[in-house]
Amino acid sequence: MSTPAAISIRDLAKTYAGSGNAPPKHALKGVTFDVPQGEVFGLLGPNGAGKSTLINILAGLVTKTSGKVDIWGHDIDRDRRNAKASIGIVPQEIVFDPFFTPFEVLDIQSGLYGIPKALRRSDELLRAVHLDDKRDAYARSLSGGMKRRLLIAKAMVHSPPILVLDEPTAGVDVELRRQLWELVGELNREGVTVVLTTHYLEEAEELCDRIAIINHGQLITNKPTRELVEMTREKIVVLTLDRAIDQLPYHPAFVKSAKRDERTLEITYDKDKVNAGQVLALVQDQGFLIEDVTTREADLEDVFVQLTSKQAAKASPA
Protein backbone atom coordinates (compact mmCIF):
# COMPACT_ATOMS: atom_id res chain seq x y z
CA MET A 1 0.00 0.00 0.00
CA SER A 2 1.22 3.50 -0.81
CA THR A 3 1.72 5.95 2.05
CA PRO A 4 -1.09 8.55 2.30
CA ALA A 5 -0.12 12.08 1.33
CA ALA A 6 0.86 14.52 4.07
CA ILE A 7 -1.32 17.13 2.34
CA SER A 8 -3.88 16.31 -0.35
CA ILE A 9 -5.40 19.17 -2.37
CA ARG A 10 -8.19 18.58 -4.90
CA ASP A 11 -9.76 21.21 -7.20
CA LEU A 12 -8.97 24.00 -4.74
CA ALA A 13 -10.43 27.35 -5.73
CA LYS A 14 -10.57 30.74 -4.05
CA THR A 15 -12.36 33.78 -5.43
CA TYR A 16 -12.26 37.17 -3.74
CA ALA A 17 -15.23 39.47 -4.40
CA GLY A 18 -14.30 42.66 -6.21
CA SER A 19 -14.89 45.98 -4.45
CA GLY A 20 -17.05 48.57 -6.19
CA ASN A 21 -17.03 47.95 -9.93
CA ALA A 22 -13.92 45.76 -9.79
CA PRO A 23 -14.40 42.19 -11.06
CA PRO A 24 -13.87 39.22 -8.71
CA LYS A 25 -10.29 38.03 -8.31
CA HIS A 26 -9.69 34.31 -8.90
CA ALA A 27 -6.67 33.66 -6.64
CA LEU A 28 -6.77 29.86 -7.07
CA LYS A 29 -8.37 28.06 -10.00
CA GLY A 30 -8.89 24.33 -9.42
CA VAL A 31 -5.46 23.48 -8.00
CA THR A 32 -4.79 19.76 -7.42
CA PHE A 33 -1.63 18.14 -6.00
CA ASP A 34 -0.30 15.99 -3.15
CA VAL A 35 2.59 16.65 -0.77
CA PRO A 36 4.24 13.27 -0.06
CA GLN A 37 5.07 12.38 3.54
CA GLY A 38 8.64 12.91 4.70
CA GLU A 39 9.72 15.14 1.81
CA VAL A 40 10.83 18.74 1.50
CA PHE A 41 8.26 20.08 -0.96
CA GLY A 42 8.81 23.37 -2.79
CA LEU A 43 5.88 25.62 -3.69
CA LEU A 44 7.10 28.27 -6.14
CA GLY A 45 5.56 31.01 -8.21
CA PRO A 46 5.83 34.73 -9.03
CA ASN A 47 4.37 37.37 -6.73
CA GLY A 48 0.58 37.21 -6.84
CA ALA A 49 0.58 33.63 -8.14
CA GLY A 50 -1.65 32.32 -5.31
CA LYS A 51 0.95 30.75 -2.99
CA SER A 52 0.07 32.84 0.07
CA THR A 53 -3.66 32.25 -0.45
CA LEU A 54 -3.05 28.50 -0.55
CA ILE A 55 -0.93 28.59 2.62
CA ASN A 56 -3.52 30.74 4.41
CA ILE A 57 -6.18 28.17 3.53
CA LEU A 58 -3.99 25.43 5.04
CA ALA A 59 -3.51 27.60 8.14
CA GLY A 60 -7.25 28.17 8.53
CA LEU A 61 -6.90 31.93 7.98
CA VAL A 62 -8.71 32.00 4.61
CA THR A 63 -11.89 30.12 3.71
CA LYS A 64 -11.72 28.32 0.37
CA THR A 65 -14.43 28.87 -2.22
CA SER A 66 -14.52 25.23 -3.31
CA GLY A 67 -12.47 22.05 -3.45
CA LYS A 68 -11.16 19.61 -0.86
CA VAL A 69 -8.08 19.76 1.39
CA ASP A 70 -6.86 16.99 3.70
CA ILE A 71 -4.01 17.63 6.15
CA TRP A 72 -2.48 14.38 7.49
CA GLY A 73 -5.72 12.62 6.51
CA HIS A 74 -8.01 15.18 8.20
CA ASP A 75 -10.48 17.17 6.09
CA ILE A 76 -10.09 20.87 6.93
CA ASP A 77 -13.88 21.35 6.89
CA ARG A 78 -15.13 18.23 8.67
CA ASP A 79 -12.18 17.70 11.04
CA ARG A 80 -10.76 21.20 11.48
CA ARG A 81 -9.32 20.59 14.96
CA ASN A 82 -7.14 17.61 13.98
CA ALA A 83 -6.21 19.19 10.64
CA LYS A 84 -4.94 22.29 12.45
CA ALA A 85 -3.08 20.18 15.02
CA SER A 86 -1.23 18.40 12.19
CA ILE A 87 0.41 21.49 10.73
CA GLY A 88 2.74 24.24 11.90
CA ILE A 89 2.96 27.48 9.91
CA VAL A 90 6.00 29.76 9.88
CA PRO A 91 4.74 33.06 8.38
CA GLN A 92 6.74 35.67 6.48
CA GLU A 93 6.09 38.27 9.16
CA ILE A 94 7.68 38.29 12.61
CA VAL A 95 4.63 37.65 14.82
CA PHE A 96 5.24 37.51 18.56
CA ASP A 97 5.22 39.99 21.42
CA PRO A 98 8.68 41.62 21.59
CA PHE A 99 8.36 42.02 25.38
CA PHE A 100 8.12 38.28 26.02
CA THR A 101 11.20 36.10 26.33
CA PRO A 102 11.69 33.22 23.85
CA PHE A 103 10.71 30.78 26.61
CA GLU A 104 7.51 32.73 27.30
CA VAL A 105 6.67 32.92 23.60
CA LEU A 106 6.83 29.12 23.32
CA ASP A 107 5.10 28.50 26.65
CA ILE A 108 2.17 30.75 25.75
CA GLN A 109 1.85 29.15 22.30
CA SER A 110 1.83 25.71 23.95
CA GLY A 111 -0.98 26.88 26.21
CA LEU A 112 -3.01 28.02 23.21
CA TYR A 113 -2.82 24.44 21.91
CA GLY A 114 -3.98 23.12 25.29
CA ILE A 115 -0.70 21.36 26.07
CA PRO A 116 -0.38 20.70 29.84
CA LYS A 117 2.62 22.36 31.50
CA ALA A 118 4.22 19.00 32.26
CA LEU A 119 4.21 18.08 28.56
CA ARG A 120 5.45 21.37 27.11
CA ARG A 121 8.72 21.24 25.17
CA SER A 122 9.77 24.90 25.36
CA ASP A 123 13.34 24.32 26.56
CA GLU A 124 13.81 21.35 24.23
CA LEU A 125 12.70 23.43 21.24
CA LEU A 126 14.95 26.34 22.21
CA ARG A 127 17.89 23.92 22.23
CA ALA A 128 16.81 22.52 18.85
CA VAL A 129 16.83 25.98 17.23
CA HIS A 130 20.05 26.97 19.08
CA LEU A 131 18.40 29.66 21.20
CA ASP A 132 18.77 28.09 24.64
CA ASP A 133 21.31 30.78 25.60
CA LYS A 134 18.64 33.43 24.80
CA ARG A 135 15.94 31.69 26.87
CA ASP A 136 15.28 34.65 29.16
CA ALA A 137 16.21 37.58 26.91
CA TYR A 138 13.50 39.87 25.55
CA ALA A 139 12.47 38.69 22.10
CA ARG A 140 12.96 42.22 20.78
CA SER A 141 16.69 41.92 21.48
CA LEU A 142 17.11 38.95 19.10
CA SER A 143 18.72 39.33 15.70
CA GLY A 144 16.66 38.78 12.52
CA GLY A 145 17.96 35.23 12.11
CA MET A 146 17.25 34.38 15.75
CA LYS A 147 13.67 35.67 15.38
CA ARG A 148 13.20 33.44 12.33
CA ARG A 149 14.44 30.42 14.30
CA LEU A 150 12.10 31.32 17.17
CA LEU A 151 9.19 31.36 14.69
CA ILE A 152 10.12 27.82 13.63
CA ALA A 153 10.19 26.69 17.26
CA LYS A 154 6.84 28.41 17.84
CA ALA A 155 5.32 26.49 14.90
CA MET A 156 6.59 23.20 16.38
CA VAL A 157 5.26 23.49 19.96
CA HIS A 158 2.44 21.00 19.30
CA SER A 159 4.77 18.53 17.48
CA PRO A 160 3.01 18.72 14.09
CA PRO A 161 4.11 16.22 11.43
CA ILE A 162 4.00 18.99 8.78
CA LEU A 163 5.86 22.31 8.83
CA VAL A 164 5.06 25.06 6.31
CA LEU A 165 7.63 27.83 5.84
CA ASP A 166 6.39 30.87 3.92
CA GLU A 167 9.40 32.80 2.55
CA PRO A 168 11.44 32.10 5.72
CA THR A 169 14.68 33.61 4.42
CA ALA A 170 13.30 36.89 3.06
CA GLY A 171 15.62 39.67 4.19
CA VAL A 172 18.04 37.27 5.93
CA ASP A 173 21.76 37.40 5.12
CA VAL A 174 23.60 34.49 3.53
CA GLU A 175 25.05 33.02 6.74
CA LEU A 176 21.74 33.12 8.63
CA ARG A 177 19.99 31.64 5.61
CA ARG A 178 22.43 28.73 5.70
CA GLN A 179 21.74 28.20 9.42
CA LEU A 180 18.00 28.14 8.79
CA TRP A 181 18.37 25.53 6.07
CA GLU A 182 20.52 23.35 8.30
CA LEU A 183 17.76 23.53 10.91
CA VAL A 184 15.08 22.66 8.35
CA GLY A 185 17.22 19.72 7.19
CA GLU A 186 17.51 18.45 10.76
CA LEU A 187 13.73 18.62 11.23
CA ASN A 188 13.16 16.79 7.95
CA ARG A 189 15.62 14.03 8.89
CA GLU A 190 13.61 13.59 12.10
CA GLY A 191 10.54 12.83 9.98
CA VAL A 192 8.87 16.24 9.61
CA THR A 193 7.34 16.91 6.18
CA VAL A 194 8.38 20.41 5.09
CA VAL A 195 6.53 22.67 2.64
CA LEU A 196 8.64 25.62 1.53
CA THR A 197 7.89 28.75 -0.46
CA THR A 198 10.89 30.82 -1.52
CA HIS A 199 12.00 33.31 -4.15
CA TYR A 200 15.55 31.93 -3.95
CA LEU A 201 15.37 29.32 -6.69
CA GLU A 202 18.86 27.98 -6.01
CA GLU A 203 17.70 27.11 -2.48
CA ALA A 204 14.65 25.27 -3.77
CA GLU A 205 16.84 23.34 -6.18
CA GLU A 206 19.25 22.37 -3.40
CA LEU A 207 16.71 21.56 -0.68
CA CYS A 208 13.51 20.28 -2.24
CA ASP A 209 12.74 16.69 -3.24
CA ARG A 210 9.78 17.82 -5.34
CA ILE A 211 8.59 21.20 -6.63
CA ALA A 212 5.20 22.52 -7.67
CA ILE A 213 4.97 25.82 -9.56
CA ILE A 214 1.83 27.97 -9.41
CA ASN A 215 1.15 30.91 -11.70
CA HIS A 216 -2.00 33.01 -12.05
CA GLY A 217 -3.75 30.71 -9.57
CA GLN A 218 -3.10 27.57 -11.62
CA LEU A 219 -0.72 24.65 -11.11
CA ILE A 220 1.63 24.58 -14.09
CA THR A 221 3.93 21.74 -13.00
CA ASN A 222 4.56 19.33 -10.11
CA LYS A 223 7.61 17.10 -10.52
CA PRO A 224 10.64 15.74 -8.67
CA THR A 225 13.26 18.51 -8.62
CA ARG A 226 15.84 16.66 -10.71
CA GLU A 227 13.24 15.81 -13.37
CA LEU A 228 12.10 19.44 -13.43
CA VAL A 229 15.64 20.75 -13.90
CA GLU A 230 16.19 18.29 -16.76
CA MET A 231 13.11 19.58 -18.58
CA THR A 232 14.92 22.44 -20.25
CA ARG A 233 16.38 21.55 -23.65
CA GLU A 234 18.79 24.46 -23.80
CA LYS A 235 22.44 24.48 -22.71
CA ILE A 236 25.07 27.19 -22.86
CA VAL A 237 28.70 26.94 -23.94
CA VAL A 238 31.13 29.85 -23.44
CA LEU A 239 34.07 29.95 -25.85
CA THR A 240 37.24 32.03 -25.70
CA LEU A 241 38.47 32.41 -29.28
CA ASP A 242 41.93 33.12 -30.73
CA ARG A 243 40.95 36.47 -32.22
CA ALA A 244 38.36 39.23 -32.12
CA ILE A 245 34.91 38.23 -33.30
CA ASP A 246 33.92 40.23 -36.40
CA GLN A 247 30.93 38.11 -37.30
CA LEU A 248 29.00 35.77 -35.01
CA PRO A 249 29.07 32.09 -36.05
CA TYR A 250 25.67 30.87 -37.21
CA HIS A 251 23.96 27.48 -37.38
CA PRO A 252 20.25 26.49 -37.20
CA ALA A 253 20.98 24.41 -34.05
CA PHE A 254 22.16 27.58 -32.24
CA VAL A 255 19.28 29.09 -30.28
CA LYS A 256 21.34 32.22 -29.67
CA SER A 257 24.88 33.51 -30.23
CA ALA A 258 26.16 36.52 -28.29
CA LYS A 259 29.49 38.26 -27.66
CA ARG A 260 30.54 38.65 -24.02
CA ASP A 261 33.58 40.65 -25.12
CA GLU A 262 35.61 40.92 -28.31
CA ARG A 263 37.05 37.37 -28.00
CA THR A 264 34.43 35.59 -25.85
CA LEU A 265 31.39 33.98 -27.41
CA GLU A 266 28.33 32.56 -25.63
CA ILE A 267 26.26 30.07 -27.58
CA THR A 268 22.92 28.72 -26.40
CA TYR A 269 22.01 25.49 -28.18
CA ASP A 270 19.25 22.88 -28.20
CA LYS A 271 20.71 19.73 -26.65
CA ASP A 272 18.11 17.62 -28.49
CA LYS A 273 19.66 18.70 -31.80
CA VAL A 274 23.40 18.91 -31.10
CA ASN A 275 25.86 18.18 -28.31
CA ALA A 276 28.69 20.37 -27.01
CA GLY A 277 31.31 18.67 -29.16
CA GLN A 278 29.30 19.32 -32.30
CA VAL A 279 28.89 22.99 -31.32
CA LEU A 280 32.68 23.33 -31.01
CA ALA A 281 33.18 21.65 -34.39
CA LEU A 282 30.64 23.97 -36.05
CA VAL A 283 32.41 27.04 -34.65
CA GLN A 284 35.82 25.73 -35.80
CA ASP A 285 34.41 24.97 -39.27
CA GLN A 286 33.67 28.70 -39.55
CA GLY A 287 37.36 29.56 -39.16
CA PHE A 288 37.73 30.12 -35.41
CA LEU A 289 40.33 28.54 -33.13
CA ILE A 290 39.06 27.83 -29.59
CA GLU A 291 41.41 28.58 -26.70
CA ASP A 292 39.08 27.85 -23.77
CA VAL A 293 35.65 26.29 -23.16
CA THR A 294 33.22 26.36 -20.25
CA THR A 295 29.67 25.02 -20.15
CA ARG A 296 26.68 25.80 -17.97
CA GLU A 297 23.93 23.32 -17.18
CA ALA A 298 20.35 24.44 -16.99
CA ASP A 299 19.14 25.20 -13.48
CA LEU A 300 15.77 25.64 -11.82
CA GLU A 301 15.66 29.34 -12.68
CA ASP A 302 15.85 28.51 -16.39
CA VAL A 303 12.94 26.07 -16.04
CA PHE A 304 10.93 28.49 -13.89
CA VAL A 305 11.25 31.30 -16.43
CA GLN A 306 10.53 28.92 -19.31
CA LEU A 307 7.35 27.50 -17.76
CA THR A 308 5.89 30.75 -16.39
CA SER A 309 6.57 32.67 -19.62
CA LYS A 310 5.05 29.82 -21.66
CA GLN A 311 1.90 29.92 -19.51
CA ALA A 312 1.71 33.71 -19.76
CA ALA A 313 1.92 33.45 -23.56
CA LYS A 314 -0.95 30.95 -23.59
CA ALA A 315 -3.06 33.15 -21.31
CA SER A 316 -2.60 36.37 -23.31
CA PRO A 317 -5.12 37.09 -26.07
CA ALA A 318 -3.98 36.60 -29.64
pLDDT reported for residue 26: 93
3-state per-residue secondary structure call for the chain: CCCCCCEEEEEEEEEECCCCCCCCEEEEEEEEEEECCCCEEEEECCCCCCHHHHHHHHHCCCCCCEEEEEECCEECCCCHHHHHHCEEEECCCCCCCCCCCHHHHHHHHHHHCCCCHHHCCHHHHHHHCCCHHHCCCCHHHCCHHHHHHHHHHHHCCCCCCEEEEECCCCCCCHHHHHHHHHHHHHHHHCCCEEEEECCCHHHHHHHCCEEEEEECCEEEEEEEHHHHHCCCCEEEEEEEECCCCCCCCCCCCEEEEEEEECCEEEEEEECCCCCHHHHHHHHHHCCCCEEEEEEECCCHHHHHHHHHHHHHHHHCCC
Domain boundaries, the chain: 7-229, 234-297
**pLDDT tens digits for range 248-262:** 888 887 888 888 888
What's the whole-number mean pLDDT along residues 269-277? Answer: 82
pLDDT reported for residue 318: 44
pLDDT reported for residue 144: 82
**pLDDT tens digits for range 294-307:** 887 667 777 777 77
Range with the lowest mean pLDDT among 26-35, 43-52, 290-299?
Answer: 290-299
User: Which CATH code is given to the segment(s) 234-297?
Assistant: 3.30.70.1560
pTM: 0.78
pLDDT reported for residue 203: 83
What's the whole-number mean pLDDT along residues 101-113? Answer: 95
Range with the lowest mean pLDDT among 92-96, 132-136, 172-176?
Answer: 172-176
**pLDDT tens digits for range 140-199:** 899 888 888 899 999 999 999 999 999 887 767 777 788 888 888 999 999 999 999 987
CATH superfamily for 7-229 is P-loop containing nucleotide triphosphate hydrolases (3.40.50.300)
